Amino acid sequence: MDRQPVLEGERLRLRPLAPGDWDELYAVARDPLIWEVHPSRDRWQEPLFRSFFDDAIAKGGALVVLDTQSGAMIGSSRYQAHDPDDDGSVEIGWTFLARSHWGGGFNAEMKQLMLVHAFRYVGRVDFRIGEANWRSRKAMEKIGGKLTDRFELAETTAGMVRHVVYAITPEAFAAGPLSS
């Protein structure tokens, strides 16, 4: 599976994250309100976002999100944990968008582009979300994600945080709100 494709939508373009994207992406990420319900609430701070950014570059799979109308970089997301043996699964996550692009279907368009691409290669897409991150959980349910009984514990700067796992299969995607 190509985890760093270029994906084109009506209003968004996703392309591979590059080291030279630091300044423009951090200009978006330094807004503390983006992270207020995220398990890593302090990720807006430069050293913590630098670690996040460097990890994304090192692991591959990271994409930047561009608004096609303005050309502005408005966020990022990743394909991670591709497991061709586990029913062919991949995880989508580490997503954030500028507050100027909250609502209005931008997250749904981004996820639709990413899911269409992923389902060319895998039979399941997982989304690992901080249990208390109501904003991301609501967005996941809105696009057809189903809460599973799986969970993970992850170390954050605030300590151990429980993450719940949502999943979408090709069949659920085809019948869901993003299929059109």
Q: What is the pLDDT of residue 86?
A: 62
Domain annotation for the chain: domains and CATH numbers: 7-175 (3.40.630.30)
Q: What is the pLDDT of residue 179?
A: 62
- pLDDT grade for 122, boundaries at 50, 70 and 90: very high
pLDDT at 98 over 70: yes
Instruction: Please state the pTM of the whole predicted model.
Output: 0.90
The region of weakest confidence among 10-14, 93-97, 141-145 is 141-145
What does residue 34 show for φ and ψ, rounded to 5 degrees?
Answer: -60, -35
- 139-160 as b/e: b if 16+ CB within 10 A: bbeebbbeeeeeeeeeebeeee
